[in-house]
Structures are given as C-alpha cells and as structure tokens.
C-alpha cells in the first residue's frame, strides 16, 4: 500500500506542474481561450508586405489588438486584414489604419489613428482609410542608382 501512496503523490505533483506550465504558456503567449474580450474589425490595403498574422495593432503607441487574418479580395485586387481589438477601445469611422515598421528594419505593425469626427465602428465593420507600407528597399535602390534627385 505504501508503494501506491508514493506513486499517487508523485502523480499529483506532476499533474499540478503540468497545469502550471499550461497556465504560463497561455498567459505569456497571449492566447485568448474566450474571445469575449475583443471584437473584430477589417481594413483593405493595396499591399501588406511584411505584415504577419499576430502582428500588433497599436493606437497612440499602445498595443490594442493583433492581426488575426489576411486574405486576398480578388475582384477588387486588395488585401483584407482582420484585426482583433480589445473591448472598450473606440475607433471611429474616419479612422486611418497604416502599416508601419518598428525601427529601420524591424517588424511591421498596424498603427491606427482613431479619428473622432464620425460614428463609432461596430464589430465587423471596415476601416476605409488605409495607408500601405513604404517600400524602403525600392527607395534605397532608386537612391543608389541615382534616380532620386
């Protein structure tokens, strides 16, 4: 009986350890099990070069969400980006979504100027004003070959 008691205690200890590791993975990985704490918005861009699923969405330099999905709108020849925005963040229909670069050669993120002159966007609506990323590589090539004056 004593043998099974030690195995049971060891099993409980391992189980609690696995629960702690799972909790840390969820918290540090910013995984949301329930999506009630965020809502979805969309934006149409001519280019999303360098942007990735999971890239941050920022407003006034503070992260307010993440890029959830990207797909191509074939008839309109545009990229559709889906954002998950934290509940409580109000974005107006005259907002501007821009794809920016963190640093000179850093990762891309979406910066939102929230606007303020119109109605508040509801979940599932589209940010109509967008700015695609600047092609730094193309600018450097043009400068290097003397095409910029």
State pLDDT tens for residues 1-42: 566 788 888 889 999 999 998 888 877 765 554 456 899 999
- Average pLDDT on 84-98 reads 91
pTM: 0.69
Which strand (E) or helix (H) includes residue 71? Answer: strand 62-73
- Average pLDDT on 130-134 reads 84
**pLDDT reported for residue 85:** 93
Asked whether the predicted pLDDT for residue 107 surpasses 90, the reply is no
What values do phi and psi take at 75, rounded to 5?
A: -60, -35
How many whole angstroms separate alpha carbon 55 and alpha carbon 61?
A: 14
**pLDDT reported for residue 23:** 85
């Amino acid at each position: 009986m004593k043998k099974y008691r030690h195995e049971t205690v060891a099993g409980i200890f391992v189980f609690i350890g696995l629960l702690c590791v799972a909790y840390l993975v969820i918290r540090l990985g910013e995984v949301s099990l329930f999506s009630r704490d965020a809502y979805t918005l969309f934006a149409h861009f001519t280019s999303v070069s360098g942007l990735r699923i999971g890239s941050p969405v920022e407003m006034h330099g503070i992260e307010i969400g993440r890029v959830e999905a990207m797909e191509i709108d074939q008839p309109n020849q545009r990229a559709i980006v889906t954002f998950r925005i934290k509940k409580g963040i109000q974005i107006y229909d005259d907002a501007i979504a821009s794809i920016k670069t963190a640093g000179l050669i850093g990762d891309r993120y979406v910066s939102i100027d929230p606007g303020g002159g119109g109605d508040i966007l509801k979940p599932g609506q589209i940010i109509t004003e967008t700015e695609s990323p600047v092609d730094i590589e193309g600018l450097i090539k043009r400068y290097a070959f003397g095409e910029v004056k």
